[in-house]
Every structure is written in C-alpha cells, then in structure tokens.
Structure 1
C-alpha cells in the first residue's frame, strides 16, 4: 500500500486499477508524455534501474518492468520538488508549463540519485542497455551522429544494432536522429535570432532544400513561416 509522500511509476503499456481509498486519501496522477523524455535521456546512466524502466515503459509494448515503487517519504529534496510541481500546476501562472517541465526533470534526476529506495519487478536484458546508450548518443552527438560510429562504440554489428533500435522504438536510427535534429532546429528558431542557414548547419544538415522539406512535413510550415508566426504572437 502506498503511504504519504511515496511515488509509484507505472509502465504505460500495462493495465491497472486503483482500489477503493479512504475518505481523506488524496492520490495525484501525473501522466508524462513520452516526448518529455527527449531532453531527459542525456541525464540517464545505464547503471540504474530507473533509466531501464523508462526505456521499457516508453518503447516496449510488453508487460516487462511493470512498476517502480519509490519509498521516498523522508527524502526532503524529492518532497519539496513534488510540492513545487503541484503548486505550479494548480496556480497555472506565466511560464508554468516550462517550470513544471524543469521541476520534473530535476525530480527524475533526484530519483536516479535515490535509486536504492526503489522497488521493481524484474531485471532488464542487455537490449535495454543498447537502447539507452543509443538514445544518449543521438542526444549528445546529433550534429554528426552515425549508426556506424555508434555500433563501433557499442561493439555491435551495425545491422544488428539497427534491428534492436527499430524493434524497441518502432523507429529507425535515421528517423530518431532526424527527430532530434528537427526538435533542436525548432528550439533554435524559437529562442535565437540565428539565421536559418546557420541553424541548418548547427543541427547537422548541409542540404537546405532537404531540410526545408522535412521541417515543413513535420511542422506544416517552412522554418521562415514558423519564425514569422512566432513574431506575430
């Protein structure tokens, strides 16, 4: 049974239900969208069960790794972050969405630091290690990332690694890399006045027309139209 201040992470692919609670019990359900973890993976290490659980929960449509149960009622740093998240969500002030995202990132990091306080259902195979490392590699090296370099670093045949990535995520290495590059380009368009051609180079492309095509395909606007739309807000 959950106690006050404890956390339960559930794999998004499992079926579950909540038993009847007492009159004064309060349970807060946070639903975390998979895309939130785009910027979290750079913090994850392969030596902890939390990163393995997240990979399994996000990308494997199985019953493996059903839950993580954190007995963190006495961990002040974690309780303080949860309180801040709840207050920010309830107040819904200026920049609340960004603030909650940053707090949640800090919460994940704190939970990783206190992984010894987590109970889980089972161990994870080597494939999860490969997927964690692959996602971290794309996140950290997206400008010049290549499947061949990654496979060399992981001491895996490139065709076998490619198959594991596709099996776990439903995306190819190239598709994951493109998603990261487009996301970074969108971020630079929103937060800087950098020329579009420079942004294209910054995210790892040298073919301007190709970049315009894939950007418009994803966001339904060209980079120029996207920036002009932002300026009108």
Structure 2
C-alpha cells in the first residue's frame, strides 16, 4: 500500500484514544440508535451516498452485532479476528471478508499495527457490480441475497488472497476516493468494485468460508454429478461452462477438494461402469469400451489390465455370476 495512505490509516482517532486510555467499551452512540446489537447505517453513511469507508476501530472488543447494510472488510496490514456463528476467523493482510446484513458477528480487539478498512454499502450499490458478473456464481448469489428485503440471505464470504496486487490496487483507489470525496465517486467505485469481484472469481480456490453453503463443495459435487450421470461424454470444458468457472479455477477446485484431477476421477468412474457392465450384461468388451467413452479399444484394454491385473474377458470369466 502507498506509504502516505498507510500513514493516514494508522493515525489514532479520537474514538480510539479513549479505548486506548482504558475506557474499554464501545461508544454506542457512534454506531447505533438503540442497541449496539444492530449497527445503523444512518449513523455511518451520509444521506444520498451508496457506500463509504471507515477504518476499523482498534483497541477495543466489538460485541456481537449485525448491520442494516452490507459490509466488506479489507485487511491492509496485520490481523483482525472475527467470530461468526461460533467460528473464529482471523483475517490477514490482503484478505477480503464480505458480510450480508443478517450475519451476527463479534470482533476481537485489534492493536495499533492491525489496519482493517470497512466498506459500508447499501444493497443498491451492487447493481453495477452485479451487472458486470454476467453469469450465476458465488458472488452474484451473495449480491442477490443482499437485495432480499423480506427474506435476506444470512451468509458471508471470506477470500484469502495473499496480497493480490490487482485487488490491492483497486481497494486503495476506492479507499482514497471515499476518504477524500472525489467527484462521481459512487459510480467510479461501483465499477471498481465490479472489477474486484471479477478478480475474486479468478481466486475461488481462496474462498475459505461461506456460512450458508460451501460453494467450492457445491461446484465439485456438480462435477462429480456430471461424471456419474454421463461418464461417456463428460468433459471439463463443458462442465466449466455449465458451472460458470474457468478451466483453471475448476481444475484447482477439483484437485483441492478430492485429491484427484478431473481425468483421474473420470477414468475411475469409466472403469467402475465398465466393471459393472462386464458382470451384469452380455455386452461385448468392445461395446462396453464404447459405452464408457473409449473409442480406442487398445487403450481401454491396456488401462483395464493395468488396473485389474487381467484382461476384461478374463475378469468377466472369473467374476461373472448367473
């Protein structure tokens, strides 16, 4: 981060000076009209604005609360620990945490070197970022959930980015824009946030937590479903398109969640199916090879023998039961 901006963010505010001197409790009137259990956007966001930023207040524990706005925390340096639904999540430099309105969470005391920036946004702010995402994906689902007034979706997303330079640059630009009130800042920041989301979609393997669903698990289960339902025709290019992932990200997710690459999973399913057909049908070996996706008969024979220690015909003779 730019040195001048970092120095500005590290300045101790008047509020923080009170906590540092031992006052101990959150100044409720700065955050809530009634109970600190619900932080009110009207006290943090100027009328007519769609988004603002606020450095996270250090030297004090934040009790459990929720917001009537969407919050994103970006960690500039150090560590900040949230407790969400009983889970203790420590954010490190470069991490991005997105919290929907209904998420209840507490925050452990942050020290002088721990700098987090809170983006405080109305759901309407995300209309342009949502339009930039185009297709159904984890971020689009999160934003759509934020728009639900009667039945909002209660969940969060945590991306562990390890100081991604593109995201860092975009975050810095938005922070500077909002701290110093640049012209047309809402529109500029909406497009900047859309770019951040597009970069985040390239790092789904870094998506650490999602309280309402494990998105990575959902995607991988969809892949396994494709393989199991049609192992003859399943291919990674089509599955990537259908699950709205890039080939690279999808390959990483599959390996991360299963320990195997796509081709290994596909071959396992094909030979599992071939074994079943050998024992349960009268199809010829050649027909079975074609049925499970192998037009190259010699390759099928070699792979089968390598896996089972015998040819398909011998396997059928030894295991076939009537």
TM-score normalised according to structure 2 size: 0.35
Q: Which has a greater percent of helix?
A: 1
TM-score, L = length of structure 1: 0.47
Which is greater in Rg? 2
